[in-house]
Structure 1
């Protein structure tokens, strides 16, 4: 059974001006997502800036979100790391905390071979009973899970149940869907490819857009899955200018700026990221207004 169908939000981690975690704002964001019918919350995914968090901060965020959500929707924790042992340790900790599933990004920088990726994920899967969604985002990790490797892992590891596909290669997604024939759930990892991936048998998206438009992102997926493909397509197309604006600089810089524009108090980003440049603010503001969010 899928961990979720629909739109899961890759939630930002709000910071205070001193870069400490703003738990009050985090709680407000969680409640707003649930009110907007988000289908799952992903905590400490890439959008949550885990690369600049301490292990204590990551586990604290997981604990807070699990308690705040209180079983209303699934909570999925990002536990990926480029050290397999560290990824295993964090995955075990997430299981103790009580999350519903794990999102595990490919090991970045190491540039593992396909056999290395297989062994990496196999070792993590063996360390936990939680269902795992692999996360393939070569543009950020320098590492691509090929369809054959993903299919092999989904077939051999009972608790590897899905993949977040952000390769940007629709042909690769089609090959993956053909190889797995439904036994590996496919989620779009790019907000501008939700409908194309759903058309290949995907069951949802893990979304940056959902931070600012949870209801609309949920509707985009569910309208498609429930048969109104024309309405889903129109939602996809109408939000393209905002989706592009949310990636005018590296994620999560623009989405945090957008939340701040909407009065949501997402705060700053941590170095080596920097806050949104003045030259890109008009594009983001105009896109929010076009979508009637601002």
Structure 2
């Protein structure tokens, strides 16, 4: 259902913190023109944690409207409160999204039974396809392979996972537990080559915000089984994958965009801040290696 290079879109803000809709629409057009095969509005990279519910789903509606069905839209919709997660998936469907990207509950740290029951309630509340987002480094909650297999088998609307565990063998284990048709998408740009080689279908990408064509061509090479060509792209992009996390994300990616797209708004919402000088130097050097400066 989903494959290729799927940028986790940054959200443009004016200096006063207001959402800049015109810049968002232009950015979406650029992403599609450069070959991105899907879009994720208002995820972690989109500073979703700083958005009100009204702002959040306005951004989803804008993304859906601008995309006009040319590529799928997977709306960030997770919550650590099951009731809010249900509201979010319904709002995502009402906004016209093709799927919802949903983390397991964070902060309150449920056990595996609680994680299963959370997604059971969400899946039973709405038929919108769900892409699980397993990112223990942020949620301090891990959807175990066995739990994911149970969810995939019990609920047809749970169609895949954005895996940001950083554990490559999870791809094979989840393939066995969830079935070969379960869509596994990397949540780590730097690991996408190995992820795809073991059964992945693409990447929900930070780097694609600033290098959409290179990321799309890399993913196309992987999907075609041309791993020699994909490795060339990996070598070119790897310094950028690493540089974009030399300070708190999405600071470095917004800095990178300011270097590549001079008209893109630079502001972040607190508590996120502009990256430090060392991070800026790393990003500049990586953009040079990628041929983007």
Task: Verify same fold: TM over 0.5.
Answer: yes
CA displacement 1:238-275 (0-9 Å, x = unmatched): 21111100111122111111111111414211111111
State the partner residue of 1:54.
52
CA RMSD of aligned residues (A): 1.1
Alpha-carbon distance, 1:102 to partner? 0.7
Structure 2 residues without counterparts, runs of 5 or longer: none
C-alpha contact 1:29 1:264 (8 A) present in aligned 2: no
Other structure's SS at 2:40 match: strand
CA drift of 1:124 comes to 0.9
The residue correspondences of 1:162-181 to structure 2 (distance < 5 A) are 162-181=160-179
Q: Which residue of 2 is the match for residue 233 of structure 1?
A: 231
| Matched-pair contact (CA < 8 Å) for 1:75–1:99 | yes
Corresponding residue for residue 285 of structure 1? 284
1:271 corresponds in structure 2 to 270
Q: Distance in 2 between matches of 1:132 and 1:152?
A: 14
Q: Retained in 2: the 8 A contact 1:186–1:203?
A: yes
In structure 2, the partner of 1:160 is: 158
Distance 1:97 1:12 in 2: 19
Match of 2:192 among 191, 194, 197: 194
Determine the C-alpha separation between the residues in 2 that align with 1:10 and 1:285.
21
Say yes or no: does 1:126 pair with 2:124: yes
1: CA distance, partners of 2:147 / 2:249: 27
Deviations 1:30-82 (A, max 9, x none): 01100111000101111101111000000110111111111111111000011
Show structure 1 runs of 5+ residues with no match: none
Give 1:1-294 correspondences, 5 Å limit.
2=1, 4-262=2-260, 263-294=262-293
Structure 1 moving runs of 4+ over 4 Å: none
1:67-107, CA deviations, whole angstroms, 9 ceiling, x for partnerless residues?
11111111110000111100110110111111111100121
Matched pairs, number: 292
Deviation at 1:227, TM superposition (A): 2.3
Partners of 1:184 and 1:117 in 2: CA distance = 19
Paired residue secondary structure (2:60): helix
Question: Would you say the 8 A contact 1:238–1:291 is kept in 2?
Answer: yes
